[in-house]
A and B are shown apart, each in its own frame.
Chain A
Amino acid sequence: MGSVLEAEGLLVGYAGAPVCGEVSATVAAGEILGIVGVNGAGKSTVARTIAGRQAPLDGDVKVHGLLIDPDAVPFRRQVSAVFDDDLFFPSLTVREHLLLVARGHSVADPEGRVEEELDFFGLLGRADAIPDALSSGQRRRLLLAAGLIRPSSLLILDEPEQRLDPIMRVALGVRIAEHARNGGAVVLVTHDPELLLATATSCLVIDHEVRELEPVQGASIIAGS
């Protein structure tokens, strides 16, 4: 399968100062690239740069052979990114948030898809609640549901396991793997060795020098062994 994401000599950071070494990676359709590292290593910054949320200091990132541009409609159509953005429309319910995304991406039978996602993420009972009435874990589930309800060929997840219970973490791992099996590529930033082992096909360890390792080695780095 062709490569979905190509990063070549990518340098990320703030105010001109890089936070980690150069990143070079390729993710093909059906592959899951795990990104691991200690706190402050720059994992999320790499993910944010790949998602087009901040400009790279140097190097190129291409999605489907085109340089990333978060304002281009094809990019928005192809790339789904879930970060820890705790921002919601205060007056829209959980169901309405998901319906907004489904309709915006022209999903067939949006109402039906919304019910499926609500069921998967255990939000059916809270479907008519506004975000302020949700727990932080439920808000996290809503964000993940919004990232997965829409079609995408590149899924970027920044520590999706945060604030999720163990059962949901396992279910999420299955869902990520399913996304890859259906032809999607995934970039997964995680601190969870089990999630990494359950999903990743390759692994980048972010530090002053970025190394590409087997997921098993990446998992032992996270576990501190």
Chain B
Amino acid sequence: MLTLDDSTPDRHLAAEIVRFTRSTTRRHKRSRVSLSERFVDAYSWGLGIAVSLTIAASFVLALRNEIADRSSAGTGIIGAQWLILPEPVLWTSVTYAFLLVVSNLARKLGPVTVGGPESIWWLTLPIDRRPMVLPPFLRKAALTGTGLTLLYLPFSMVTAVNRTAPEHLLASVTFGAAGVIAVTLAAFQQLGLLGPRIGRVVTMTALLACAVLPTASSSPWPAALAFVAAVVLLVLAGPRTGEVRSEELIRGGAVAGHAGASLFMMDSNEVLRALGGGRKTVDGGRAAGFFARPAGGPLRALIRADVVAFLRLNPPLMPSVLWLVACVAMPLVEGGLPEFAQLGIIVIAGCATASGMGGVARKAALVPELEALLPLHPALVRSSRALMPCLAMAVWMAALSGLLVLLGASDPALIAVGALAGIGMGAGTLRSATKAAPDWSAPPVDTPFGPVPRAQLGSLMRGLDVTILAMVPVMVGLYLGYTPLTVVVVQALFSAGIVLLSVLSKPKKA
């Protein structure tokens, strides 16, 4: 008979198990990849990174010089500003929003996790789990800190042209440390040291303070404070990582694995599905009365089902509102970004908001056999599926255009143009939902500019292409500062064409 022994598990044994697994894995990998292959890999990666960094650096420097050289007034999409937002407020808000995104992602992806095989072969062993989960957690925290430090450097150079080089560096280090704090606070929530609600409040408060710190980069103390806070939190959380419950470890690992694989395959639909997995559950009761009402015919029944499904899947409201606020706040800054940069950010905001509205279409695209069962033409089915995204995006774009008109960016006709653009953008989500995963085995096509992976790019851009296209006329209206009838007509034609293209084109098959 075995004894019910609850003696302290042997940490050395756990470390030995981890070492055994890792060293065996390394040995196996080394045996499969030759030295020359590794050299080619390292060379390709190095070259790719160097080229990307060069392009990014030249873009950042050009933008910085543009900002430094231009006059402070009359260069944005709002010609005569009657409401001015202090520049530090906007950039601090952007920093804060970014830190909240980091914190949210950290919570969704763990941050303390194990992968699939580890969950079966490690977690069931009667040993301390700390050596299994602590090193990957520390690695994640360090990578987040380093990545955010590098990412903040160009942001600091563009948004604070008066800072000296050491000040840019200090601000970046502060931001990197803030990222580590966000990750560690997510680990605190995993450990149950902070409840879900308290955890959110504490995280939001701590990150607000962290978002302000980079603005005070003239002194080394804010960076030192953020760095010490990050280290203290890591020291507090690290020794307890072995106490994270297996359910949490497996959940985070599953989301991270799914999202990582989707990113590797560059399948944006799958990335959204992976990250949406941890969202609040589908509201099965919402709009039940509306759904229960008798429907006159299959099309009306389908439209009703799609409307209810859209409402029950909880389309992301907060990100849509935040993007709206960001788009409105950005042109209010005195001496802010140049006009084209402002328009570019509005396009990015529009694409990001539209992608959140395609949940029903993406889920429906997973089981095309269900649609085949409906006694309706596939184009009618796709029209029904596009209805709610079109409506939601029309409302969002009308709200954005209305606010910009209120601030003096254009005349009231822009609101109608914005609403029309929203319809096209909503149809773009349907096109995006039915895109096939890129076929990386297809050879690139020779062009005068060299080989181009046209098939893969076509697959990646499906949906996004028409969403951007739908925004072109409204952007022209914003650029002009008034809305000629031509812009209204062109916008109507663009949106109608995009809707027709989206509902009439068959889904791409992998």
Q: Which A residues are within 8 Å of any B CB, using their own CB?
A: 1, 15, 29, 64, 66, 70-74, 76-78, 80-81, 85, 87-92, 96-97, 99-101, 103-106, 130, 146, 151-153, 183
Contacts and interface: CB of A to CB of B under 8 A. Distances in A.
Contacts of B484: none
A96 B125 contact: no
Contact of A74 (B4, B25, B122): B4
Contacts of B119: 87
A187 to B, nearest CB: 16
Nearest to B10: A106
Contacts of A92: 21, 24-25, 28
Contacts of B25: 89, 91-92
Interface in B113-141: 116-117, 119-127
30 contacts: A15-B281, A29-B1, A64-B4, A73-B127, A74-B6, A76-B124, A76-B125, A77-B2, A77-B5, A78-B4, A87-B116, A87-B117, A88-B117, A88-B121, A89-B25, A89-B117, A91-B24, A91-B25, A91-B29, A92-B25, A96-B20, A97-B121, A100-B20, A101-B125, A103-B13, A104-B125, A130-B28, A151-B2, A153-B2, A183-B2
Contacts, number: 86
A160 to B, nearest CB: 16
A91 B246 contact: no
B245 interface: yes
B345 interface: no
A114 to B, nearest CB: 13
B344 interface: no
A184 B43 CA distance: 57
A1 B2 CA distance: 13
A101 B149 CA distance: 41
Contacts of B243: 71
B41 interface: no
The prevalent SS among residues of A at the interface is loop
A73 B6 contact: yes
Contact of A70 (B2, B246, B281): B246
B17 interface: yes
Given A100-B20, A104-B125, A104-B126, A85 B5 contact: no
B125 A105 contact: yes
Given A73-B6, A78-B4, A100-B20, A106 B13 contact: yes
Contact of A104 (B117, B127, B281): B127
B16 interface: yes
Nearest to B2: A153
A103 B20 contact: yes
Nearest to A81: B124
A105 B126 contact: yes
Given A91-B29, A100-B20, A153-B2, A77 B117 contact: no
A81 B119 CA distance: 13
Given A73-B6, A74-B6, A85 B246 contact: no
B9 A73 contact: yes
A40 B122 CA distance: 29
Given A100-B17, A104-B127, A90 B6 contact: no
Contacts of A91: 24-25, 27-29
5 closest Cβ pairs, A-B complex = A104-B125, A91-B28, A77-B126, A91-B25, A76-B126
B2 A85 contact: no
Nearest to A97: B121
Contacts of A151: 2
B121 A89 contact: yes
B151 to A, nearest CB: 32
B50 to A, nearest CB: 31
A217 B125 CA distance: 37
Given A78-B2, A89-B25, A103 B16 contact: yes
Interface string B233-262: 000000000010110000000000000000
Contacts of A90: 117
Nearest to B127: A104
Contacts of B2: 77-78, 151-153, 183
A214 B232 CA distance: 61
Nearest to B242: A71
A96 to B, nearest CB: 6
B246 A71 contact: yes
A128 to B, nearest CB: 11
Given A15-B281, A64-B4, A87-B116, 12 more contacts: A70-B123, A76-B123, A76-B124, A88-B120, A100-B21, A100-B121, A103-B13, A103-B17, A104-B126, A104-B127, A105-B126, A151-B2
A29 B20 CA distance: 34
Nearest to A152: B2
Contacts of B6: 72-74
B120 A85 contact: yes
B312 to A, nearest CB: 14
Contacts of A77: 2, 5, 126
A130 to B, nearest CB: 7
Most B-side CB within 10 Å, residue of A15, A90, A92: A92
Contacts of A152: 2
A97 B16 CA distance: 14
B93 to A, nearest CB: 38
Contacts of B123: 70, 76
A111 to B, nearest CB: 13
Nearest to B245: A71
Interface string B24-62: 110111000000000000000000000000000000000
A103 B14 CA distance: 9
A77 B5 CA distance: 8
A73 B117 contact: no
A70 to B, nearest CB: 6
Contacts of B245: 71
